[in-house]
Structure 1
Amino acid sequence: MSKIGYNIKKLRNVKNLSQQAFADIFNLTRGNISSYEELRAEPKLESIIKIANYFSIPLEHLLTKQLSVNEILNFNDYFNEEGQKKLQKNFANIPFISREAIHHIKEGTFDVQKLDLIAFPMYSSHKFIALELTHEIAAPANVDIPEYTILFFEQVQIDTLHMLDNHFGMFLTNTEIFIGTYNQNKTTINLKLNEWKSEDFNTENLQSFWKLYAKFEKKL
């Protein structure tokens, strides 16, 4: 049996598409998508080709392997095959906050342990998390980063607090997420979204604060 049903569901989740929204793109019905995901049926070859082309995924991969988040986001295009082989042992599996996961945060059902993982070359023992930037995430007006860029955040460390001032960061809990700018004033630190919203840093909420580490913007 092919992997098409699994991959359709994975594509929907990463791209934050309902069954109906996915069906509308390819002139199918919500019932069609449900039957594919539940492995009760498979789409016609014509539809499979349309799905592969729409998401820029090789047809063979769509049919024969379980797609990773990297493949769905076309990250694999960035690293050539030879480079991947050399770097693979240094790739870190990083929790990835997709657009679907952002909805879970707003609904209060977010669980970082259930996030998909994205593989990326990281050479640090610190804790990281990746985020797909969308308009649904509150951010300061001066964050000049294109939508759908993948941002990598490093969890704030006590020994590097003196390096936070004026850097972009993220505040993340099970019910809230926003991007802001760190402000340091003598012994106090806060992450500021705007004049009305900020969060004060302290050791009790340390795990909620992240510092922008890197970004991945696909070149078209």
Structure 2
Amino acid sequence: MSKIGYNIKKLRNVKNLSQQAFAELFSLTRGNISSYEEQRAEPKLESVIKIANYFSIPLEHLLTKQLSVNEILNFNDYFKEESQKKLQKNFTNIPFISREAIHHIKEGTFDMQRLELITFPMYSSNKFIALEFTHEIAAPASMNMPEYTILFFEQVQIDTLHTLNNQYGMFLTSNEIFIGTYNQNQSTINLKLNEWKSEDFNTENLQSFWKLYAKFEKKI
């Protein structure tokens, strides 16, 4: 039996699509998607091809492999397989905040320990987190990030506070998330979204502050 049912469910979860929303993308019904995920039926080949093309996933992988978050985000296409094997020891498993996880934050049910992991080359012992950017996240207009861009944030460290001024950062708790700009004024630092929203930095809430480290933007 193919892996298509498992992979459709995985795609939906990572992209935060309901069965109905996923079905409408490919001229199917919600019942169709339910039957595929429960392995009571399999889609016609023409539908599988449409799904593979839409998400830029090799057809063979969609049918025969249990897709990882990396593959769904197309990271595995970005790095050549041979190079990936050589560099594997330098790759880091990074917690990934998907669109589904963003909804958990807004509902107050977010748990960082339960996040899925993605693998990416990060040559640092510091703590990182990845985020799929969406306009559901409050962010400065100056960022001008396209949807589906993957942002990598590094947790703020006491010894690097002097590097924060005018840099983009993220404030993250179990029930709140926003992206802003760090402002440093003598001995105070805050992360500012706009004139009405900002968070002051202190050692007690250190773990909630992150600095933008890198971005991965898929070229279509």
Paired residue secondary structure (2:143)? coil
Match of 1:99 in 2: 99
Q: Sequence identity of aligned pairs in percent?
A: 88
Q: Which runs of 4+ in 1 moved over 6 A?
A: none
For 1:54-203, list aligned pairs within 5 A.
Answer: 54-203=54-203
Paired residue secondary structure (2:141)? coil
For residues 91-117 of structure 1, give each alpha carbon's deviation from its aligned partner in whole angstroms, at most 9, with x where no partner exists. Answer: 111111111211111111111122121
For residues 170-206 of structure 1, give each alpha carbon's deviation from its aligned partner in whole angstroms, at most 9, with x where no partner exists. Answer: 0001111100011111221110000000001111111
Match of 2:23 in 1: 23
1-structure distance, mates of 2:147, 2:29: 29
TM-score (norm 1): 0.95
Offset of residue 66 of structure 1:
0.9
Paired residue secondary structure (2:198)? strand
User: What amino acid is aligned across from residue 38 of structure 2 in structure 1?
Assistant: E
2-structure distance, mates of 1:9, 1:25: 14
For residues 30-51 of structure 1, give each alpha carbon's deviation from its aligned partner in whole angstroms, at most 9, with x where no partner exists. Answer: 1221122122322222322221
Paired residue secondary structure (2:193)? strand
Any stretches of 5+ residues in structure 1 without a counterpart? none
2-structure distance, mates of 1:57, 1:110: 29
User: What amino acid is aligned across from residue 175 of structure 1 in structure 2?
Assistant: N
2-structure distance, mates of 1:36, 1:89: 37
Paired residue secondary structure (1:178)? strand
1-structure distance, mates of 2:81, 2:165: 39
For residues 113-137 of structure 1, give each alpha carbon's deviation from its aligned partner in whole angstroms, at most 9, with x where no partner exists. Answer: 2212111001111110001111111
Paired residue secondary structure (2:12)? helix
User: What amino acid is aligned across from residue 26 of structure 1 in structure 2?
Assistant: F
Any stretches of 5+ residues in structure 2 without a counterpart? none
Offset of residue 77 of structure 1:
2.2
Offset of residue 147 of structure 1:
2.6
1-structure distance, mates of 2:27, 2:147: 27
For residues 67-102 of structure 1, give each alpha carbon's deviation from its aligned partner in whole angstroms, at most 9, with x where no partner exists. Answer: 111211112222122321221221111111111211
2-structure distance, mates of 1:85, 1:219: 24
Offset of residue 146 of structure 1:
2.5
1-structure distance, mates of 2:180, 2:42: 45
User: What amino acid is aligned across from residue 3 of structure 2 in structure 1?
Assistant: K
User: What amino acid is aligned across from residue 135 of structure 2 in structure 1?
Assistant: H
User: What amino acid is aligned across from residue 119 of structure 2 in structure 1?
Assistant: A
2-structure distance, mates of 1:117, 1:137: 20
For 1:7-22, list aligned pairs within 5 A.
Answer: 7-22=7-22
User: What amino acid is aligned across from residue 91 of structure 2 in structure 1?
Assistant: F
Match of 1:50 in 2: 50
**Which is further off, 122-131 or 35-44?**
35-44
